[in-house]
Structure formats: C-alpha cells, structure tokens
Chains A and B, each alone.
Chain A
Amino acid sequence: MFLKEYIKEVFGAVKSLATGMRRTGYYFTHHKEIITQQYPDNRDTLQLPERFRGEVVMIHDENNEHACTGCTACELACPNATIKIVTKFDVDEETGKKKKAIDTFVYHLELCTFCNLCIEACPTGAIKMDQTFEHSVFDRSKLTKKLNHDGSKIRAGVE
C-alpha cells in the first residue's frame, strides 16, 4: 500500500536521524571520550598509540646483538630508497667459513614516509618502528642514521 510505505519511510528516516543524534549527544555530554592530546603541554605524560610509527630502529639486546642477517629484504621493500645496507663477510674462527653480515645499516630519515613496509618485509624481526617523533634538526646530514650499534654483531642462531 502506498500510504503505508510513505509513513514507514518517514518513521525510518526519523529513527535513523535520532540514532545519529544520540551518538553525538553522547559525545557532547561525555568529555572523557575526547582524544585530543595537548602535545607540547603534556610532553611528559604523552601517551602514544601502540602502533604509532615514529622512526625505524634496530632492536639490540643487552649483549649488543641484533637479528639482522643483511638479507636486504627491507632495502628491496622500501618504495623510496630510504634504506641502504652495506654488507661484509665475517670469517668464522673455528671453521674458517665466510659468512655474510651487515657492516652498516644506513637509514635516511629524511626520505622515509613511515609506511611500515620494511618492518613487514623483515624475515627475522630485526627492525621495528619507534615512538619518537621529534625529528627536526638544523643539519640535513644528521638525518642519515646508522641503525646498527658500534661493535654489534648478529645473535647466534639467527639465519
């Protein structure tokens, strides 16, 4: 019936609008829901989300060992050539075999778009996104970083 459809349509419209207004009304009366971070004021107590992408760092454990095998998967995954891995060959003292390892993990912060593709590409979980985000410096060369610490070596057992 035409009239029935018409009235049903009007009531449906009013109901859906009321649903929307209930939501905004809830937010209006519940100020605890506000998610704005008043950043420079709350710098000490700033709570960043877990998955916030600040910059790429390499994970080192307490023995100054990392999990990077120098496979360059991250370098290949990077869309804008942010990562450059310089490899070298370590000689195993016992067997005398040569083994590929990283010499320098170069990270160009100034080129990085924080897309997270390198972290997803890494087969050993050697790199991760840090939560730091105050990156401004006065000299552009300071943005080119070496991610592996001095004297660090690959953790035993990571292939």
Chain B
Amino acid sequence: MSPKKFKFAFLFIAILLFPVFDRNAYHMDLATNVALYGLLAMGLNVVVGFAGLLNLGYAAFFGIGAYTYALLNLYCHWPFWLGLPAAGLVSMFFGFLIGIPSIRVRGDYLAITTLGFGEIVRIVFNNWDEVTGGPNGLLGIARPSIGSWHFSVNATPYFYLVFILVVLTAFFLYRISDSKIGRALVAIREDELAASCMGIPTLQVKLIAFGISSFIAGLAGCIFAAKQTIITPDSFDFVLSVLILAMVVLGGMGNLWGAVLGAVVLGALPELLREFAAYRMLIFGLLMILMMIFRPQGILGGSLIKRELAKRQKDETDATA
C-alpha cells in the first residue's frame, strides 16, 4: 500500500469510527452538518471549480431537493429511499434549465442570472402557500427507515448516510476529473473559444456540469429535509449560496479535496469558536476578500492545473535531456 493510499485509509477509518468514540449528540449533529456542507461544496465545485462558471444560486438546488422529497413524502407518501433519487433528478432538471442560458450568457452575467434564479425559487417557496406552506414551511417530513428500523433524532445514522454519499461522490468526481468530460470542463474554464475550436461540444459539457452539480445538491437537500423533518424557505437563501461558495474558494476552486477542506473549516470552526458567533459572517466576508487578493487559488490550489503543468515541465525536461 502506497503512503498516500495508507493516509486515505487511515482518514477513512478514523472518520468511520468517530461516532463510536464521540457519543456527544451535539458533536454528531455538527459532524453531520459539516458532511452535508462537504457534499454541497463538492457539488458546487463541479460548476465553479471545474467549469469556471460561477453559480450564485446553488442554495436553490439544495432547496429544490428538500422540497421535492418533502412534497412527495407528505402528499404521495413516498419513502425516503425513493425520494432521494427523485430529489436528485428534479434538482438536476432545474440544473439543466439554469444551464441553458450559459449558451449566450457568460461570466459575471451568468453569475447574476443564477442569483436571480435562486431568488425566484426562494420567493416561490415563500409565497406559494397552498403547496409549500409559505413562510412556515412544511413539517412532519418522514425520517428514513431501513426495514423495520427507523432513523431517530440521533444524528449518527445520518452521519454515516452522508459520509457514504460523500465518499461515493468524491470517487465519482475523482473519476470524472480524469475523464474526457473533466478535461473538457477544464478546457472550457481556461479558454472557452479555444475549447470549442478543438471540437468540444461546449454546451453539452456545461449542461452536464450543471446537471451533476445540481443532482448532488438535490441529494443533500433530501437528506437535510429528512433529518430536520421541518423545512422553511429561509434555510435556502443567498447567504447559504455564498457560504458554500466561500468553502469552495477557501479550499481551492477546482480542487476536489479543497472543497471538503473548505467545508470542514468553515462549517466547523464557527461552531467551535462560539464566543465569536456574532462575528461569523463578518469574518467570512473578510476571508473571501483576503483569499481573492492573496491566494486566489485557495488553500490547496487548483490541483488539476498544477498537475498538468508539473507533468508538462517534466516532459519538456525529459525531451531536452
């Protein structure tokens, strides 16, 4: 086993055993939320980091996932395990929808379009009282169950559920980033015109990125709804979109592990430093400004580019030697 694989295996087992050693309910709840943030940050990273398209309405997809499961469960009595893929797919559908303007709309304009979309979704949740319950939201959403065993208030099973999804998603995205699609996404990020000249079907690739990204958010939203059993529109506001974006930026846009690191740092630190709770958002803002000025590539940096460049340099030195 290589040292890198060993490190991963160690980390994996440590996280897996964490709930066994730490039985504090509050810590478990926090860990579950951090894992959910990790899932969201990885999902947003597909669009923002890989494809270089800024999505400022990501919380809307999280919300669409949550409301999809909640409505299916409350009105049609769908169980969680059916609701989970449904939430992902419905959210993905809206992801395609918001991806379509990216044919014409570029860069910062696209960012504002997604922001507008996110706000519209939130206002619809808030105002469509007959279906979404308006500002009071929906309550009494069923928790998941396996056979005759039901999830309860205890966050531990949710933690494992989200952790499994995080691992699966990370593996999936890791494979994607090395695939044809992953490379096409990076090509579009670096130079869209050049990419399309090289025969990359830029629209399809961008839509795939939006689709994957919103599918992941939909899954996270479904779990969130099942864990909370109550959802209200203000859980899915612009602040959440920016929070997830800040995680991606902090860890390093385009870096798979960077998104997870960003989620752990920004998700857990404010809770651990409770006395500074009032300054939390102030510090987020400051952090985003400072990161952009001093380290725009994030803590871990955009690994894809770095790896490519290192490889190219090595090839060149090999060629000249």
Indicate whether A and B interact: no
